[in-house]
Structure 1
């Protein structure tokens, strides 16, 4: 499978954002996901993690957070 240069950039931004997210750096993670969307506006995973970052920025997870996102609605 050949990955385009555009997608390579999106993946790099997404992966860095995911690492920041797992380290509870939600503002910085959100910025990475937003940069990925500037390149690929339909990037579903980045859209999802922006929502999760917004949730955790507004209401941070507990100190013993294991990285799992608990959905508020079904």
Structure 2
């Protein structure tokens, strides 16, 4: 069974992913931030939060397929 805290993290992450797919990166970032406020070590939320910051500054093209292209290793 999952704890209530972990369920909240999962719920915020799911909402964030939905906004992310819709290219609503500010809203997505807010949801990932809520997840990280509960669990600062949540890896997926950290990754997507960082990607949102990137896409807010560097918006993807209108035909973006959701794939994040790494430019550094």
TM-score class normalised by the smaller sequence: over 0.9
Q: How does 1:49-68 map to 2 (within 5 A)?
A: 49-68=48-67
Q: Which consecutive aligned stretches of 4+ in structure 1 deviate over 6 angstroms post-superposition?
A: none
TM-score (norm 1): 0.96
Shift of 1:6: 0.4
Does 2:25 match 1:19? no
> Aligned partners of 1:5 and 1:22: how far apart in 2?
26
Shift of 1:17: 0.1
Post-superposition Cα deviations, 1:32-69, rounded to whole Å, max 9, x if no partner, equal 00000111111011110111001100010001000000
5+ residue gaps, structure 2? none
TM-score (norm 2): 0.97
5+ residue gaps, structure 1? none
RMSD of aligned alpha carbons: 0.5
The number of equivalent residue pairs is 73
